[in-house]
């Protein structure tokens, strides 16, 4: 099969060079313009010289002196060896040509020729289909990768505001519409329009007057078809959108399967899913209705136009004597021949319109500009000490400010804690520090440089983040760990895992480091997963560490292990800790208390607790049943190098 494809490519190339050769022969060669009298006489009269077609009046004309085969022969004969080769072919043809009366001979020859033609048709048909499909699939891969690449470049905000299921749908279903459009274009458009154009040419040749009449008749049909096409496109768009909702429902159901099961909501979910599907169904049917309408309309009007033209033609022939009989026949028969391709074109046009709805949805994704991009003059950041300063930082997701006038100064290696009621803006600040968003006001400086002026890739190489949700990819543990640093050696990986107290667990798994983490990491406990993400962060060896409620989702036993591994991780790094459990941050160098997007208090655990009116004291006593715990002073005793 593959060799046939190579053959096909070869044939295409041959065809192209033949075409190029013809152009050179006919258009560019000086002989093309020389008058016939000055030409060399052809060596031999070509066999295949067909008499030129009769002109409109039906009168015979003299065979043209510059007939193409002659010209070609004259030119080709200059190629060395061509004449000899041609003579050999002619001799061979003469040998296989049966004598005039040899009926059997002719029958066999014709059968063999038919067989050859059939085989050629089969091969070219197969090749066309194969090459076309191959080309289309290539294009699709390119589009899909391109769209994905673009998506990954988009800001974090984009993924918060879009529904993941809808994105899936655009990446799969809508891109498949591109497939459909391309296939229609390749398969029908070329074939049908060449047929149609030749039909039109014959009609105009046969009777310009009747052609003009048909044009006038066809115009309003085209207008109506355009209306249908627009309808198809609009409805298809709504259908594609609806399919996005179907995908989104599936995605939500499956990712929330635990809750669905726990709340025994299977039936409820099925009903909800059915409703989304019903809505999709209605919209899909509306697309079909518009397409079928266009087709029925074309059918009816096509016949009406033909009827009018028959009447008009017969009137022109009989009454007005404006057209001769044979031309009327030619005109009407080519009209009849054009019917099928015209119908196909209308169908294709609507299919392409339908597909364009999907294309539009893909293009919408591509039109979204990445939010956080490197400035063209962004500077490299090969090393980072870990000095962090925030000046007047403010941020809003939309219009409502979430952070206001934040000032902070953190020395390299310091541990600072961010505490405060939920919704105060702590996670948002962590996201700003990782440059997932840019502040809407003020400046964040690392080592005295505005983070917007350095290359984002360089910046992130010095930052690691551990969040509440220990996400692991559905691949080997090793791959997941290497996410921290691509080129980490096995020794480094094992060392990181030992420091994160997870090496023994991994070693006991079947397959060890090559064990595949199940879908959403279900084969590992929350604490184990979290320790893997900590090992991942350790491998990165960051200067700045961002911990957002890294232990909140864990039971107290795994919390202790995770806490110990975090202490290893924090050693010697500038660390921002968000912790719900205040007992975990009592040893921080400084605690910032957030409330409604502002820093309302700042100081050490002892100082803040000493202030009887402090919000910190209130939050702390709330968690410890009103009793300060002596052991809290030991926890997280500011690990310093």
Ligand X SMILES: Nc1ncnc2c1ncn2[C@@H]1O[C@H](COP(=O)(O)OP(=O)(O)O)[C@@H](O)[C@H]1O
Residues near ligand X (CB under 6 A) = 160, 397, 402, 422-428
The residue (of 414 and 549) whose beta carbon lies closer to ligand X is: 549
551 lines the binding site for Mg ion (CB under 5 A): no
Q: Could you tell which of ligand X, Mg ion, none binds residue 63, using a CB distance below 5 to 8 A set by kind?
A: none
Instruction: Find how far residue 433's CA is from the centre of its chain.
Output: 31
- Write down the least CB distance from residue 463 to ligand X, Å: 18
Rounded to whole angstroms, the Cα distance separating 612 from 627 reads: 14
Q: Could you tell which of ligand X, Mg ion, none binds residue 512, using a CB distance below 5 to 8 A set by kind?
A: none
- Write down the least CB distance from residue 530 to ligand X, Å: 18
The residue (of 247 and 427) whose beta carbon lies closer to Mg ion is: 427
Q: Could you tell which of ligand X, Mg ion, none binds residue 640, using a CB distance below 5 to 8 A set by kind?
A: none
Contact 368, 154 (CB under 8 A): yes
Q: Which helix (H) or strand (E) holds 289?
A: helix 266-318
The residue (of 425 and 439) whose beta carbon lies closer to ligand X is: 425
Rounded to whole angstroms, the Cα distance separating 255 from 613 reads: 44
The residue (of 67 and 427) whose beta carbon lies closer to Mg ion is: 427
Return all residues near 111 (Cβ < 8 A) that are at least 6 apart. none
The residue (of 380 and 421) whose beta carbon lies closer to ligand X is: 421
Contact 431, 599 (CB under 8 A): no
DSSP 8-state symbol, 223? H
574 lines the binding site for Mg ion (CB under 5 A): no
Return all residues near 518 (Cβ < 8 A) that are at least 6 apart. 474, 524
467 lines the binding site for Mg ion (CB under 5 A): no
DSSP 8-state symbol, 445? E
Per-residue binder mask for Mg ion (CB under 5 A), 368-407, x = binder: ----------------------------------------
Return all residues near 469 (Cβ < 8 A) that are at least 6 apart. 553
- Write down the least CB distance from residue 247 to ligand X, Å: 22
The residue (of 149 and 400) whose beta carbon lies closer to ligand X is: 400
Half-sphere exposure of 165 (CA within 13 A, CB side): 17
Going by DSSP bridges, is the β-strand pair 401-410/544-548 parallel, antiparallel, or unpaired?
unpaired
- Write down the least CB distance from residue 153 to ligand X, Å: 19
- Write down the least CB distance from residue 535 to ligand X, Å: 25
The residue (of 235 and 426) whose beta carbon lies closer to ligand X is: 426
- Write down the least CB distance from residue 537 to ligand X, Å: 19
Sheet holding 441-446, edge to edge: 401-410, 388-396, 441-446, 449-450
Exposure class string for 607-625: b at 16+ Cβ within 10 A, else e:
ebbeeeebbbbebbeeeee
Q: Could you tell which of Mg ion, ligand X, none binds residue 423, using a CB distance below 5 to 8 A set by kind?
A: ligand X
Q: Could you tell which of ligand X, Mg ion, none binds residue 424, using a CB distance below 5 to 8 A set by kind?
A: ligand X
Q: Could you tell which of ligand X, Mg ion, none binds residue 57, using a CB distance below 5 to 8 A set by kind?
A: none
Nearest one of 353, 354, 366 to 170, comparing CA atoms:
366
- Write down the least CB distance from residue 403 to ligand X, Å: 8
The residue (of 19 and 471) whose beta carbon lies closer to Mg ion is: 471
Q: Could you tell which of Mg ion, ligand X, none binds residue 540, using a CB distance below 5 to 8 A set by kind?
A: none
302 lines the binding site for Mg ion (CB under 5 A): no
The residue (of 335 and 550) whose beta carbon lies closer to Mg ion is: 550
Q: Could you tell which of ligand X, Mg ion, none binds residue 160, using a CB distance below 5 to 8 A set by kind?
A: ligand X
- Write down the least CB distance from residue 438 to ligand X, Å: 14
Count Cβ atoms below 10 Å from residue 15 Cβ, excluding itself: 10
**Which residue has its beta carbon closest to Mg ion?**
427
594 burial via Cβ count (<10 Å: 0-12, 13-18, 19+): buried
- Write down the least CB distance from residue 550 to Mg ion, Å: 11
The residue (of 338 and 547) whose beta carbon lies closer to Mg ion is: 547
583 burial via Cβ count (<10 Å: 0-12, 13-18, 19+): middle
528 lines the binding site for Mg ion (CB under 5 A): no
Beta strands in 339-411 (DSSP E): 388-396, 401-410
Beta strands in 50-171 (DSSP E): none
Contact 236, 289 (CB under 8 A): no
Q: Binding segment for Mg ion among 286-294, 407-415, 425-433, 606-614 (CB under 5 A)?
A: 425-433
In this chain, which of 240, 427, 467, 584 binds Mg ion, going by CB under 5 A?
427
- Write down the least CB distance from residue 404 to Mg ion, Å: 17
Contact 459, 436 (CB under 8 A): no
Contact 631, 587 (CB under 8 A): no
428 lines the binding site for Mg ion (CB under 5 A): no
Q: What is the 3-state secondary structure (H, E, C) of 68-87?
A: HHHHHHHHHCCCCCHHHHHH
Rounded to whole angstroms, the Cα distance separating 472 from 294 reads: 51
The residue (of 427 and 565) whose beta carbon lies closer to Mg ion is: 427
The residue (of 65 and 160) whose beta carbon lies closer to ligand X is: 160
Q: Could you tell which of ligand X, Mg ion, none binds residue 151, using a CB distance below 5 to 8 A set by kind?
A: none
- Write down the least CB distance from residue 492 to Mg ion, Å: 31
Q: Could you tell which of Mg ion, ligand X, none binds residue 428, using a CB distance below 5 to 8 A set by kind?
A: ligand X
Count Cβ atoms below 10 Å from residue 270 Cβ, excluding itself: 12
Contact 378, 453 (CB under 8 A): yes
The residue (of 513 and 592) whose beta carbon lies closer to ligand X is: 592
- Write down the least CB distance from residue 593 to ligand X, Å: 11
Q: Could you tell which of Mg ion, ligand X, none binds residue 207, using a CB distance below 5 to 8 A set by kind?
A: none
Q: Could you tell which of Mg ion, ligand X, none binds residue 593, using a CB distance below 5 to 8 A set by kind?
A: none
- Write down the least CB distance from residue 463 to Mg ion, Å: 18
Give, rounded to a whole angstrom, the gap between the first and last alpha carbons of the chain: 66
DSSP 321-339: --S-HHHHHHHHHHHHHHH
Q: Binding segment for Mg ion among 150-158, 423-431, 554-562, 625-633 (CB under 5 A)?
A: 423-431
Residue whose tokens read 């983070």: 451
The residues that touch Mg ion, with contacts defined as CB under 5 A, are 427
């Amino acid at each position: 099969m593959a060799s046939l494809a190579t053959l096909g490519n070869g044939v295409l190339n041959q065809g192209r060079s033949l075409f190029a050769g013809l152009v050179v022969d006919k258009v560019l060669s000086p002989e093309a313009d020389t008058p016939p009298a000055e030409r060399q006489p052809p060596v031999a009269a070509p066999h295949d010289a067909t008499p030129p077609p009769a002109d409109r009046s039906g009168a015979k004309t003299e065979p043209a002196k510059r007939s193409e085969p002659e010209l070609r022969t004259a030119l080709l004969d200059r190629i060395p060896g061509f004449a000899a080769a041609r003579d050999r072919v002619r001799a061979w043809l003469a040998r296989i040509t049966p004598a005039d009366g040899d009926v059997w001979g002719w029958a066999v020859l014709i059968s063999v020729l038919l067989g050859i033609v059939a085989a050629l048709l089969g091969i070219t048909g197969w090749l066309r289909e194969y090459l076309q499909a191959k080309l289309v699939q290539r294009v699709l891969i390119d589009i899909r990768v391109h769209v994905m690449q673009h998506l990954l470049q988009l800001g974090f905000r984009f993924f918060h505001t879009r529904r993941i299921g809808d994105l899936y749908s655009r990446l799969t279903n809508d891109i498949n519409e591109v497939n459909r459009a391309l296939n229609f274009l390749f398969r029908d458009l070329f074939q049908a329009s060449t047929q149609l154009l030749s039909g039109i040419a014959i009609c105009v040749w046969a009777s310009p007057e009747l052609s003009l009449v048909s044009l006038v008749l066809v115009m309003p049909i085209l207008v109506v078809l355009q209306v249908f096409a627009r309808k198809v496109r609009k409805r298809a768009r709504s259908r594609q959108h609806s399919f996005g909702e179907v995908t989104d429902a599936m995605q939500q159901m499956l990712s929330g399967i635990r809750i669905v099961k726990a709340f025994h909501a299977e039936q409820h979910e099925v009903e909800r899913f059915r409703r989304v599907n019903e809505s999709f169904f209605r919209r899909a049917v509306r697309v079909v209705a518009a397409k079928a309408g266009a087709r029925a309309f074309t059918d009816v009007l096509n016949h009406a136009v033909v009827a009018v033209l028959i009447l008009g033609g017969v009137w022109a022939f009989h009454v007005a004597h404006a057209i001769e009989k044979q031309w009327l026949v030619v005109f009407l028969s080519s009209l009849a021949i054009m019917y099928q391709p015209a119908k196909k074109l209308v169908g294709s046009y609507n299919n392409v319109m339908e597909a364009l709805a999907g294309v539009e949805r893909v293009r919408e994704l591509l039109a979204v500009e990445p939010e956080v991009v490197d400035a063209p003059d962004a500077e490299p950041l090969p090393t980072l000490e870990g000095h962090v300063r925030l000046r007047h930082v403010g941020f809003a997701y939309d219009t409502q400010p979430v952070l206001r006038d934040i000032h902070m100064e953190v020395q390299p290696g310091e541990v600072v804690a961010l505490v405060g009621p939920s919704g105060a803006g702590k996670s948002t600040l962590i996201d700003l520090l990782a440059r997932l968003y840019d502040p809407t006001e003020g400046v964040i400086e690392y080592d005295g440089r505005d983070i917007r002026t350095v290359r984002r890739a360089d910046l992130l190489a010095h930052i690691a983040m551990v969040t509440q949700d220990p996400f692991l990819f559905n691949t080997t543990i090793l791959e997941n760990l290497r996410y921290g640093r691509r080129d980490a050696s096995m020794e480094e990986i094992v060392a990181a895992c030992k420091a994160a107290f997870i090496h023994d667990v991994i070693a006991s798994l079947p397959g060890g480091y090559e064990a595949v983490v199940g879908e959403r990491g279900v084969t590992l406990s929350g604490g184990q997963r979290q320790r893997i993400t900590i090992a991942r962060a350790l491998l990165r060896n960051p200067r700045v560490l961002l911990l957002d409620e890294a232990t909140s989702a864990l039971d107290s036993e795994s919390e202790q292990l995770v806490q110990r591994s975090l202490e290893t991780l924090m050693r010697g790094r500038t660390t921002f800790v968000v912790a719900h459990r205040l007992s975990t941050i009592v040893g921080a160098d400084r605690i910032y208390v957030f409330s409604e997007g502002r820093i309302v208090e700042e100081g050490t655990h002892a100082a803040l607790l000493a202030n009887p009116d402090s919000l910190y004291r209130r939050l702390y006593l709330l968690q410890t049943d009103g009793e300060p715990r002596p052991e809290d002073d030991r926890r997280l005793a500011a690990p310093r190098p």
